[in-house]
Amino acid sequence: MLLGKLAQSIGAAVEGDDSIEITGIAPLATANKTQIAFIARKAFIDQLSTTSAAAVILTREVADSSQYVGNKLISDNPYLAYAKATRFFDPFPSKTEAFIHPSATVAPNATIGERVYIGANTVIEDHVVVGDETQIGSGCFIGQGTTLGKNCLLHSNVSVYHDVDIGDRVILHSFAVIGADGFGFAPSSEGWVKIHQLGGVSIGDDVEIGSATAVDRGALGDTVLEDGVKLDNHVHIAHNVSIGKNTAFAAMSGVAGSTKIGANCTVAGMVGFAGHLTIVDNVHFTGKTMVSSDVLEPGVYSSGVPLQPANVWRKNAIRLGKLDEYVRVLNRLAKKLND
């Protein structure tokens, strides 16, 4: 597309030739004369002098302080502008015509909207509702009584169990499992007795769920993901968890049952939440944090041990085991000094 049209679409102002044709996006270091690039961190300013990009998305401050003389796309938030631009160059083929592959199995009483695409070997069970312009890839399973909204995209081999409610514009990546049983068992003298999971899953609009991520159904009531939630690959959301609007999880994080997480939170990789907790809005957890109690104040929270040389870590690990002893000694000394 033409640079001027692209700039208008992403909310940027052009300085330079707005009539050049843009064919893609690339990093500053490798972009060619028909691709745009962006700079969101000052650490990469030096690359402006050597880039071959057709144009660069950058702030007014960077544009004025650098020696870059090429075409510019001025934006207050270059990273956001770049994000908006990516959709124009996504090679993933969008299916806009109605199609049901001959090998797909669709229940006669399922309701299929207009311009819906259903791929090979997909199974859609009784009383499923699929909204207009939704794409369902090959090898998917949609269980009885589930509802998919409009403009959803299910990549191949997604499994959605029965009685799941999914909103509009939801993206589910391959091997995501929505609505599997939560981990519920009662101990008895004869072993574990299964607690049948009688709830469902409710997913809002504009949610994206990564590959091999599991969202379990509720034991009683639903597991809830509100509008705009983003889950990376290999995330586990247990039964009856509730996640607020626009909260995002990085890979390999997990939430135990019945924990309530607020809106606009961010969860870095490998964060673990205990069950039955309350997390307020606007809380941010750094990588490998173990959340074992309620968080009732917004802010940034961390736990875990940062990287150290192995010999230093071993010494500190031994000292940590003696921490209680050290504290008792210090308390006794403090008491003697106060006396």
Domain harbouring 77, CATH code: 3.40.1390.10
Number of domains into which the chain is organized? 3
Q: Give the model's pLDDT for residue 23.
A: 95
Based on the fold, state whether residues 104 and 203 are members of the same structural domain: yes
| Domain assignment of residue 77, yes or no | yes
Task: State yes or no: pLDDT of 91 exceeds 90.
Answer: no
Task: State yes or no: pLDDT of 299 exceeds 80.
Answer: yes
Based on the fold, state whether residues 35 and 146 are members of the same structural domain: no
| Domain assignment of residue 94, yes or no | no
Task: State yes or no: pLDDT of 110 exceeds 80.
Answer: yes
| Domain assignment of residue 286, yes or no | yes
Average pLDDT over the chain, rounded to whole? 95
Within 134-198, strands assigned E span: 135-136, 141-142, 147-148, 153-154, 159-160, 164-166, 171-172, 177-180, 185-188, 191-194
Based on the fold, state whether residues 243 and 336 are members of the same structural domain: no
pLDDT average, residue stretch 305-322 = 90
The pTM of this model reads: 0.90
Share of the chain above pLDDT 90, in %: 88
Task: Give Cα separations from 153 to 13, 116, 202, 310, 338 (angstroms).
Answer: 32, 10, 17, 46, 69
- Which helix (H) or strand (E) segment holds residue 60: the answer is helix 60-65
Based on the fold, state whether residues 114 and 223 are members of the same structural domain: yes
Based on the fold, state whether residues 141 and 231 are members of the same structural domain: yes
| Domain assignment of residue 135, yes or no | yes
Residues 6+ apart with CB under 8 A from 331: none
| Domain assignment of residue 154, yes or no | yes
Instruction: Give the CATH number of the domain where residue 275 resides.
Output: 2.160.10.10
Query: Angle at CA 165, nearest 5°, toward 92 and 180?
Result: 90
Task: State yes or no: pLDDT of 93 exceeds 80.
Answer: no
Choosing from 51, 69, 89, the residue where a domain stops is 89
Task: State yes or no: pLDDT of 116 exceeds 90.
Answer: yes
- Torsion sign, CA atoms 67, 71, 74, 79: negative
The C-alpha torsion from 60 through 62 and 65 to 70, rounded to 10°, is -90
Q: Could you report the per-residue pLDDT of 127-169, keeping only the tens digit for each?
A: 999 999 999 999 999 999 999 999 999 999 999 999 999 999 9
Query: Are 135 and 152 contacting, i.e. CB atoms less than 8 angstroms apart?
Result: yes
Based on the fold, state whether residues 174 and 37 are members of the same structural domain: no
Task: Give Cα separations from 196 to 71, 149, 162, 180, 224 (angstroms).
Answer: 61, 27, 14, 11, 18
Choosing from 69, 89, 109, the residue where a domain stops is 89
Q: Which residues are catalytic?
A: 239
Based on the fold, state whether residues 193 and 235 are members of the same structural domain: yes
Q: How far apart are CA 315 and CA 335, in angstroms?
A: 29
Based on the fold, state whether residues 271 and 315 are members of the same structural domain: no
Based on the fold, state whether residues 137 and 162 are members of the same structural domain: yes
Based on the fold, state whether residues 77 and 199 are members of the same structural domain: no
| Domain assignment of residue 186, yes or no | yes
Q: 313 is in which domain, residue-wise?
A: 309-339
Q: Could you report the per-residue pLDDT of 229-277, keeping only the tens digit for each?
A: 999 999 999 999 999 999 999 999 999 999 999 999 999 999 999 999 9
Query: Are 182 and 237 contacting, i.e. CB atoms less than 8 angstroms apart?
Result: no
Based on the fold, state whether residues 49 and 165 are members of the same structural domain: no
Based on the fold, state whether residues 168 and 274 are members of the same structural domain: yes
Lowest mean pLDDT among 82-86, 93-97, 152-156: 93-97
